[in-house]
Amino acid sequence: MTNTVSQADIVRAVAQLRAGELVAFPTETVYGLGADASSVDAVRKIYAAKGRPADHPLIVHVADAVQLANWARDIPPYAHALAKKFWPGPLTLVLKRSANVPDAVTGGQDTVAIRVPSHPVAQALLREFGGGVAAPSANRFGHVSATTAAHVREEFGDTVACVLDGGAADVGIESTIIDCSRDGPALLRPGWITPQQLEKALGTPLAAPDKHAPRVSGALEKHYAPQTPVMLMEGDLVVELAHSLTRQGKRVAVLARTALRPVIEGLVWIAAPADAAGYAHNLYANLRELDHAGCDAILVEQPPEQAGWLAIRDRLVRSAAGSGETLG
């Protein structure tokens, strides 16, 4: 199925899911930390491993849209239309939950988030398992998401016995989340599938979430964050601040959009790909690499304002949230 995962690996991973154990697996967005979504005990292990608050709901991953009816009820026609157009793929639908969905999965809310991933290893795992796999991104709570099997190991060490290695995740940032549980579709989390693509498929505008919309964790708080303080700014400010912090004896790492680096002693500089797809694909790996450089700050050059960069800007703003005061 891939160079690294065989059908025997899938069969072993499914046995572990059935035994109530955690299985980390690749998706096209980021790696997930999976458990049998119908088992409260198994799902609790996810929260324990991640250090995630119990009221933050999980996405249920299924092999195809036919399984929607096992998890959700009162599914509006526009949700079926989105599923038909974008699944398998990086889109998550929030729907009214059916009675059998454990509270442990939904954080006690009356909705459930569902997604059909396209990665061949995720597909093979879900087809062999047959049921739903609850999976958040495979990182410790608040940390940078994992886009390779090695990143998953970095986050969890041996506490997760089974990590399926499907190579580097293609998209690199988490799925777009659309609320389909109320009157009309609303964007809850931007992702690689853009509002423009969704509106084209729907034929109607997407609403922004209002105060009654289902909660999405990480909506404001620090999230997707390295240990090193992250600061987001325009390119000329990056250079200015890199100079002045270095003069103060601090070590600086930069996620830039150009290879034209200033000559500064000890500066760590990554030039990110110029296109949004390449930038997203490398984003979390770049943040991890800069975090490991042992610097006092990571300065990130603002990405472009264009629509295709919405989800990237969202992740960068959150990874920088709360870092302002830390640097002093």
Residues that bind Mg ion (CB under 5 A): 137
In the complex, minimum distance from the CB of residue 299 to ligand TXA, in angstroms, rounded to a whole number: 26
Nearer to ligand TXA, 46 or 238 (CB): 46
Contact (Cβ atoms closer than 8 angstroms) between residue 134 and residue 54: no
Which two three-digit tokens encode residue 161? 């016995």
With CB cut-offs between 5 and 8 Å by kind, which of Mg ion, ligand TXA, none does residue 112 bind? ligand TXA
Q: Alpha helices of the chain — where are they, by DSSP H?
A: 7-18, 40-50, 68-71, 77-86, 103-106, 120-129, 149-156, 195-202, 235-247, 276-291, 310-320
Single-letter residue type at 279: Y
DSSP 247-265: HTT--EEEEES-S-----T
Nearer to Mg ion, 137 or 181 (CB): 137
With CB cut-offs between 5 and 8 Å by kind, which of ligand TXA, Mg ion, none does residue 67 bind? none
In the complex, minimum distance from the CB of residue 249 to ligand TXA, in angstroms, rounded to a whole number: 37
Rounded Cα–Cα distance for residues 300 and 233 (Å): 6
User: Nearest-CB residue to Mg ion?
Assistant: 137
- How many CA atoms lie less than 13 Å away from 67 in the CB half-sphere? 18
In the complex, minimum distance from the CB of residue 218 to Mg ion, in angstroms, rounded to a whole number: 7
In the complex, minimum distance from the CB of residue 281 to Mg ion, in angstroms, rounded to a whole number: 17
Nearer to ligand TXA, 221 or 275 (CB): 221
Interacting residues of 293 by C-beta distance below 8 A, sequence separation 6+: 251, 253, 268
In the complex, minimum distance from the CB of residue 22 to Mg ion, in angstroms, rounded to a whole number: 15
Rounded Cα–Cα distance for residues 181 and 184 (Å): 8
Nearer to ligand TXA, 191 or 303 (CB): 191
Residues that bind ligand TXA (CB under 6 A): 27, 29-30, 32, 56-59, 92, 94, 106, 109, 111-113, 115, 117, 135-137, 174-175, 177, 188, 214-218
Nearer to ligand TXA, 109 or 246 (CB): 109
Which two three-digit tokens encode residue 18? 């059935």
Q: Which of 4, 296, 1 is nearest to 168 (CA)?
A: 4
In the complex, minimum distance from the CB of residue 188 to Mg ion, in angstroms, rounded to a whole number: 13
Which two three-digit tokens encode residue 308? 């295709």
Nearer to ligand TXA, 26 or 303 (CB): 26
